[in-house]
Chain A
Amino acid sequence: MTRILMKGNEAIAEAAIRAGAIYYFAYPITPQNEVGEYMARRLPEVGGVFVQAESEVAVGNMLFGAVASGKRVFTSSSSPGISLMQEAISYMAGARLPVVLINIMRGGPGLGGILPSQADYFQSTKGGGHGDYRVLVLAPSTLQEAVDLTMLAFHLADKYCNPTMVLADGMIGQMMEPVEFPENYVEEPVPPKDWATTGCQGRAPIIIKSLALDPVVLEKNNLVLAEKYKLMKRDEIRFEAYKINPKNRILVVSYGTMARICQTVIDELEQENISVGLLRPITLFPFPAKEILAEAIKPNIESVLTVEMSMGQMVEDVEWAVKDKKPVEFYGRTGGIVPTPEEVKDYIMKILAKETPAVKSWNG
């Protein structure tokens, strides 16, 4: 395999094509414009379709129509754009359609800024739009992982017939790193797409819908969805354990770009004989709660520190996972500011010196 130096947004775009997704609908928004620009150049070469829509509202609904064909389709956007797609995401979740969404997060709320952020954790992992549903969320921390998870996203979307999101931030989108694309990409088989609206020649008509005025029918659809989310929690939890060992005094939980910075901190602390481990969730939904708890309750662990580029979102899931067995601390910067290794390290030193405030997250 050849390693190619690529920008994150372009690597994600190429990964999607390699996974067979040659139908792309989008609306320009910084900091992910390179995905669309790459697709506009590349898709005609591979017989695909690129449509620049009039809005992200239209993008979401174009995806809805396109994915109903049974073909692999996707979009990329950034935080405010993803907000506008929530209508269609809710409908596609309700209609059980395997769409893939790439969110290169920027700072909010509102128009916010264009710099990296992790402030869309709640929106991505708790549903995002109206109704009882979840999106399967994958969070890469390197460009290679962004490539791998983008390809995996299409597989998981098809496997569960569920909207699936690759949640990265402006840092992943904008930086360059060497990446490799698998030469002969082989996937596990996915269920047949016998639900696709391909025309009813020789079969009964298929209707893809989310309306159910009868509450019994509607609850049943919700129960089918809930069953699917249970299966995801059983089979799809992914995480990375970094320098986790019995000597760890602190367990750090962090994802994406922020987790890489935490790795640097952990390496530095190791030089100073301070043992800290990192559990990096790769799937944000389903969330590795049991795995976090299992590490947190180890006797040497004094506290669990969640570090995010937000004012504290994933920390609520960590608090829930740890179930008061250990103190949960939080450190975060937001609005496009990426915490430096120094400030994270300082915070860890404060925890060890028992100088940290009792209030951890904004809800804490």
Chain B
Amino acid sequence: MNESTHAIFTRPQSFRDVVTHYCPGCTHGVIHRLVAEVLDEFGIRGRTVGVAPVGCGVFIYNYFQTDFLEAPHGRAPALATGLKRVSPELIVFTYQGDGDLASIGTAEIIHAANRGEKFTTIFVNNAIYGMTGGQMAPTTMPGQITTTSPRGRNVEECGYPIRMAELLSTLRTPAYIERVAVHTPQNIVRAKKAIRKAFQYQIDGKCFSLVEVLSTCPTNWGLTPNESLNWLEKTMQPYYPLGVFKTPDAEEQK
């Protein structure tokens, strides 16, 4: 690059220059990048520790230039609680899928949120278990075919998909909770803003923050990448409405 040119788009410093293991059309990569950009923008990379889940997101630590812990399945909020409590100077975030957060780790996320732990959770909801091969998740849509709901999710037996953002928003403890999606450029910009806000609340020592991100899983949905983006919008989004569900500021106004 000479003096007359300058880069307007580069890889975030918080993101390693490596190829990810994600399938074509999966939106994990986009979400990773948004988090990395936010860490760069706040200049907090050097004091950030991420907590990886079990699921496709487990290898997030291979893609980030930050310290990382690898949690047992669903327990990331407990690890984040432990670390943040003894080292409050750190910025701690968990990155969890829907099997991890909404099924096996339900107790941990609810109680971490209820204690008002000052860390951030990026909750990636793609309505299925990805890494284990496409089994039904608590977030799987009614009628959705998965390897363990081969005739479609039967709500009589399995209940309806859990809306985690709404559920967590019922807690009295102040928190920042927003649901976003990453299936269009416009939504990606909104998602970035939400993630930024979530980290801002943590930097300010204000509250627990969680951003639920509607994401795709073309491989296990059995759709092409394009069809997947469409399915997210047509099938998931009406059931999982986007928006801010809770802010600490609203709590203070009460």
Contact = CB atoms under 8 A, between A and B. Distances in A.
B83 interface: yes
A58 B46 contact: no
A225 interface: no
B111 A49 contact: no
Contact residue range for chain B? 35 or more
A88 interface: yes
Given A199-B49, A209-B61, A62 B71 contact: no
Contacts, number: 131
Contact of A61 (B52, B64, B71, B86): B71
Contacts of B65: 200, 205
Interface string A218-236: 0000000000000000000
B68 A49 contact: no
A49 B72 contact: no
A23 interface: yes
Given A199-B46, A207-B61, A53 B86 contact: no
Contacts of A205: 61, 64-68
Interface in B46-62: 46-49, 51-52, 58, 61
Given A65-B51, A209-B69, A198 B78 contact: no
Given A201-B47, A202-B46, A211-B58, A61 B78 contact: yes
Interface string A193-213: 000011111100111111100
Contacts of B47: 199, 201
A58 B46 CA distance: 27
A133 interface: no
Given A65-B80, A205-B68, A209-B61, A51 B75 contact: no
B24 interface: no
A199 B90 contact: yes
Interface in A15-72: 23, 25, 49, 51, 53-55, 57-69, 71
A87 interface: yes
Contact residue range for chain A? 35 or more
A23 B86 contact: yes
Contact of A54 (B58, B61, B107): B107
B72 A61 contact: yes
B107 A200 contact: no
Contacts of B67: 197-200, 205-207
Interface in A240-291: none
A309 interface: no
Contact of A49 (B45, B64, B75, B86): B86
Interface in B63-91: 64-72, 75, 78-87, 90
B70 A65 contact: no
Contacts of B107: 54-55, 57-58
B108 interface: yes
B133 to A, nearest CB: 15
Interface string B19-53: 00000000000000000000000000111110110
B111 A58 contact: yes
Given A23-B86, A71-B86, A58 B78 contact: yes
Contact of B45 (A23, A51, A200, A210): A200
Contact of B87 (A95, A198, A202): A198
B87 A69 contact: yes
A91 interface: yes
Interface string B75-118: 10011111111110010000000000000000110110001000
Given A73-B82, A200-B45, A211-B58, A88 B72 contact: yes
B68 A57 contact: no
A69 B69 CA distance: 10
Given A69-B87, A205-B65, A61 B108 contact: yes
A62 B66 CA distance: 20
A55 B78 CA distance: 10
Interface string A94-119: 01000000000000000000000000
30 contacts: A23-B85, A23-B86, A25-B82, A49-B85, A53-B111, A54-B108, A57-B108, A58-B78, A58-B81, A58-B108, A61-B75, A62-B82, A62-B85, A64-B72, A65-B80, A65-B82, A65-B83, A66-B83, A68-B79, A68-B83, A88-B72, A88-B75, A95-B70, A197-B83, A199-B49, A200-B65, A205-B61, A205-B67, A205-B68, A208-B69
Interface of B: 45-49, 51-52, 58, 61, 64-72, 75, 78-87, 90, 107-108, 110-111, 115
